[in-house]
Amino acid sequence: MTKTFGKFGGFKAHASRAQNGIAVMFDLEGFSKFFNQPDVHEYIPVYLNKVIDAVETCFFGGELYWEVESKPLLPLHFLPIHRKFLGDGMLYVWSLAGVTDNSSATLVTLLCNRLWNLKNSFDALNRACSEAVPLLDLPPRIRFGVARGTIYELSVEKSSSKEYIGFCINLASRLQAYCGRLGFIASARLSVKESDLAKNEYIKVVATKIKGFPKEIVIVDKDEYADIPPDVKKDLFGDI
């Protein structure tokens, strides 16, 4: 029997009041090439589940099974309120309503470090997937974009479903797609302390060509940024 769906009932007339939030978006580089292999439909759900599980381990805690020495990771101090599958990646949203400045500062530093570490360990994650996904051309890299700003909640009529819109969601999307040579870019709007930037070897630079966000100050890994060819760096970035 074929299931039929009724007409979309629409969103309720009023969005929630504006609140401060954080958006994380990730994308799998080379997913289209992976998708075009024979019989890949047998393995796409398995692979996506393993990648999403690894990303969510960074948030919810669990075993870092892809590491040489598996070790437990504690959950973040507070957790995302929304997640959405985007075809070749995911969106996660946190609300900072009622969160103290100290708590949010701790969150963003932990969040950035965990995502950077996962990005840096993506080869190991692919190796851990190889038995369950015996294919070549697995996506070679994962890219993260992280931003902070105003979010609004949209409720669906006659449903418990919710969606989120906002400045930081749009920015996170553009950040993860901005420079293919960087696997992690965060907006400086996250307000990471300068001491934490220095301690964790991040630097601030200016992204000069993000559509809709001219001259956005961003946070990148110092060593990863240093490896960008000078012509690419000159085209996409500037100094503060």
Confidence category of residue 9, pLDDT binned at 50, 70, 90 = low
Number of residues written out for the chain? 240
Judge: domain 19-238, CATH 3.30.70.1230.
Answer: yes
The encoded tokens of residue 44 equal: 């796409």
Please determine, for residue 231, whether its predicted confidence score (pLDDT) is greater than 60.
yes
The mean-pLDDT minimum among 30-44, 91-105, 164-178, 179-193 falls in 30-44
- Measured over the CA atoms of residue 54, residue 59, residue 65 and residue 67, the dihedral's sign is positive
Q: For position 7, what pLDDT does the model report?
A: 63
Smallest CA-to-CA distance from 108 within 181, 174, 200, 16 is with 200
Please determine, for residue 1, whether its predicted confidence score (pLDDT) is greater than 70.
no
Residue 141: strand pairing partners: 29
Please determine, for residue 6, whether its predicted confidence score (pLDDT) is greater than 60.
no
Instruction: Report whether 108 contacts 77 (CB < 8 A).
Output: no
Smallest CA-to-CA distance from 92 within 155, 144, 29, 17 is with 144
The CA distance from 125 to 102, in Å, is 32
pTM of the model: 0.90
Based on its alpha-carbon atoms, the radius of gyration of the chain, rounded to whole angstroms, reads 19
Residues 73-128 pLDDT 10s: 999 989 999 999 998 899 999 999 888 888 888 899 999 999 999 999 999 999 99
Other Cβ atoms closer than 10 A to 50: 18
Q: For position 13, what pLDDT does the model report?
A: 66
Smallest CA-to-CA distance from 140 within 160, 157, 161, 126 is with 126
The CA distance from 206 to 103, in Å, is 27
Instruction: Report whether 221 contacts 201 (CB < 8 A).
Output: yes
The CA distance from 178 to 144, in Å, is 10
The encoded tokens of residue 31 equal: 């997913």
Q: For position 186, what pLDDT does the model report?
A: 98
Residues 148-159 pLDDT 10s: 999 988 877 776
